Structure 1
């Protein structure tokens, strides 16, 4: 018989065993109205710094819930392969999907970028709203998939600006449908793997040359044309299969 999975809640504060914490806002509404949990129900809390805590709901009020942490559990579901996804910002929910699935596949950081061909244009206010929205997606993905470390979300940046200050890591890959190189042809010697995926419309010639000029290597995903969100998930999956912990 499979044990019932406890709800997992992220609290953006340093947690300790044997302490009381108050859940408000979305966290409280999810527990009390969606899951309909009552006093005495068990759950798991994590603070995004690694590890997790058993916890018990002690009180459920209209606007808040009070919980008490139990023992700390050194649970580490992170991949041994550190992957950074540089994702071109797309329209609608495409970037949302790419970020959600990349987190489930254990990327350690995400860099959203804008390109010359990209259809999305963001002023400072809209950019901040997008970042807040994506942080919520990252947290929910970690709660769902069992990760106890929250990936870093970088600020939205123009691709050419990001590349000007870029320092190559262990292996830097850019999707290139014209490349004859596949993931199986590459040798990985350790370090950070960075995957650069353009938005719908792709990168222009100057952007692609700039990426290759700082050390990115073109790799192909096969003969079919993939949407930007599909390409991101496929490439992260491929590197995790080859060098990470996907079995």
Structure 2
């Protein structure tokens, strides 16, 4: 039977007993229906899994007595950051979820010229909170012990300006270059993927001005949620942790 694995914000340590926050306690008690004495695995995003025993407290509380922990999750040989042009609803969720599963270190939602919607700060914060839950859920499911950074919603120009000095790849179906022609990026790489409708000519020129290289992913046009995932898998195979150590 697969053990329940859940993220908590509290710092964890072997030999301690922690009281879980209301959200985690509700999930374990009311959703998963765990009982006194059930084993559970916790992680705090800092690189280790912690195994322990669950105790119900009162009507709603849950605590966990931590007994063991794993070795620290090794760092990936390739630190992948991806800028995702904000796409509609489930497409954005899917791209974020699978990016986490494939091993990215950071994800930044980008406001672009062809963005699905231009929202207020309040609306963007609500969406960011939702995407953060998607990131956490993907870590819980995939066994990741380090939680990727989810950057705040920014415009493409601001994000691209932070890429100077780092290998940047602009995903473009009309590009001439392919990934296998590029030199080894070192330990860091940044991927830029547009929303539905792609990036505007202005945005492509802006990315190129900040040192990005336009790259195509084969002869087919990929959907907005497929393109970044294909790129992540490809760079992981070429230079990352899909390769044997």
Q: Are residue 181 (structure 1) and residue 188 (structure 2) matched?
A: no
Quote the Cα distance in structure 1 between the aligned partners of 2:50 and 2:170. 39
Q: Secondary structure at the match of 1:202?
A: coil
Displacement after TM superposition at 1:178 (Å): 1.3
Q: State the superposition RMSD in angstroms.
A: 1.6
TM-score between the two structures when normalised by the length of structure 2: 0.93
Give the counterpart of 1:147 among 141, 144, 150.
144
Q: Secondary structure at the match of 1:208?
A: helix
Is the Cα contact below 8 Å between 1:78 and 1:147 reproduced in 2?
A: no
Q: Are residue 207 (structure 1) and residue 195 (structure 2) matched?
A: no
User: 1:94-144 CA deviation, whole Å, 9 max, x = no partner?
Assistant: 111111000011100011111112221110000110111111111111111
Q: Are residue 197 (structure 1) and residue 193 (structure 2) matched?
A: yes
Q: Which residue of 2 aligns with 1:132?
A: 129
Displacement after TM superposition at 1:191 (Å): 2.2
Displacement after TM superposition at 1:33 (Å): 2.9
Q: Which runs of 4+ in 1 moved over 4 A?
A: none
Unaligned runs of 5+ in 1: none
Is the Cα contact below 8 Å between 1:81 and 1:240 reproduced in 2?
A: yes
Q: What is the aligned residue count? A: 243
Q: Secondary structure at the match of 1:246?
A: coil
Q: Are residue 40 (structure 1) and residue 56 (structure 2) matched?
A: no
Q: Are residue 233 (structure 1) and residue 229 (structure 2) matched?
A: yes
User: 1:39-84 CA deviation, whole Å, 9 max, x = no partner?
Assistant: 1111111111111211110225432212111122214165322100
TM-score between the two structures when normalised by the length of structure 1: 0.92
